[in-house]
Amino acid sequence: MCDDFIHPGLVSDPRLSRRSFGLMTAATAGVVASPALAQSNVVEKDVAVKTPDGTSDSVLYHPAGAGSWPAVLVWPDIMGLRPAFRDMGRRLAGQGYVVLVVNPFYRSAKAPVIGDNFDFSNPEQRARLTGYRNAMSDAGVDNDAQAYVTFLDAQPQTNKVRKVGVQGYCMGGTLSFRTAAAVPDRVAAVGSFHGGNGLVTKNPNSPHLLIEKANAAYLIAHAQNDDAQNPQMKEDLKAAFNAGGRSATVEVYQANHGWCVKGGQAYHEAEAERAWAALNVLYGRMLGG
């Protein structure tokens, strides 16, 4: 199921048309950066990551030139890998990281899985994404996480001495919790942004129960409407972090679910930038980036 979150309706991005996305993919398929990327000193290329369940069409970013940098895995939200998340990966790489942004739904469809005007309030469209999410079992996610981190560590640009970061948006928050527990020897920092109330459930596979299996510091940026729906969740998270002896910041941001991702109705630039700054502090402290 799609983790318990609140999404407003329309997501718009003209780059999400199949033709536009295909042209963008072709332009970035090689190791040579386009002029725009060269200006930001970032190399972008589409990659195929082998997993036990198939091949994930993902995108890799790293700073141009010689050197090595800490690695970061990015889990997109329920609407998957799309231009807004490519923008995030490019920006993060420009700050000195090797970044892998994945297609979490590769078992079901290649990215992008939505068009340029996706309406989350449309039951038919929403059900399609929920079906993609349902195809991801916990064991499958854990295997994916291990494969993605292994792929990052195999890149010549990755500094294997430094630890790895993982960040997720919406459902990606729960996937980030699972990643930290699945690869505890490598993942040292977890960022969850509007991860929804699925971070704490009464089920035996609740993400918060994985905290003790991880060796990471956490940044939990919670949406105000998620908090209004379940104000107890942030307290349960804080208690779980305290019980596990893990460093964590749990904060409710003054914006609604989805506020970090451009193109959505909830996007809130000021709070998105504040969340990005907090992530930079976490990565600087834990990854040495």
Q: H or E stretch including 271?
A: helix 269-286
**Structural domains of the chain, count:** 1
> Quick check: is 3 in a domain?
no
> Quick check: is 189 in a domain?
yes
Q: Mean pLDDT check: name the lowest of 8-12, 67-71, 102-106, 143-147.
A: 8-12
pLDDT at 6 over 90: no
Q: Which residues contact 18 (CB under 8 A, 6 or more apart)?
A: 112, 115
Q: Residue 40 — pLDDT band, cuts 50, 70, 90? A: low
Q: Residue 118 — pLDDT band, cuts 50, 70, 90? A: confident
> Quick check: is 28 in a domain?
yes
CA distance 50 to 55: 5
pLDDT at 23 over 70: no
Q: Which of 92, 9, 68 is nearest to 276 (CA)?
A: 92
pLDDT at 18 over 70: no
For residues 103-122, b (16+ Cβ closer than 10 Å) or e, as one string? bbbbbbbebbbbbbebbbee
Q: Residue 33 — pLDDT band, cuts 50, 70, 90? A: very low
Specify the DSSP class assigned to residue 289.
Answer: -
> Quick check: is 4 in a domain?
no
pLDDT at 157 over 80: yes
**pTM over the 0.75 mark:** yes
Q: Which pLDDT belongs to residue 280? A: 97
Query: Token digits for 133?
Result: 């999410």
39-44-49 Cα angle (round to 5): 170
> Quick check: is 2 in a domain?
no
Q: Which pLDDT belongs to residue 13? A: 76
Domain residues for the domain of 108 are 10-286
pLDDT digits (tens, 9 = 90+) for 191-209: 999 999 999 999 999 999 9
CA distance 164 to 283: 9
pLDDT at 67 over 80: yes
Q: Which pLDDT belongs to residue 10? A: 65
> Quick check: is 1 in a domain?
no
pLDDT digits (tens, 9 = 90+) for 235-281: 999 999 999 999 999 999 999 999 999 988 899 999 999 999 999 99
Residue 258 sits in a domain of what CATH number? 3.40.50.1820
Percent of the chain clearing pLDDT 90 (strictly above): 80
Q: Residue 21 — pLDDT band, cuts 50, 70, 90? A: very low
> Quick check: is 126 in a domain?
yes
> Quick check: is 199 in a domain?
yes
- Using an 8 Å Cβ cutoff, are 108 and 132 in contact? yes
Q: Which residues contact 22 (CB under 8 A, 6 or more apart)?
A: none
CA distance 13 to 71: 28
* Averaged pLDDT for residues 85-102: 97
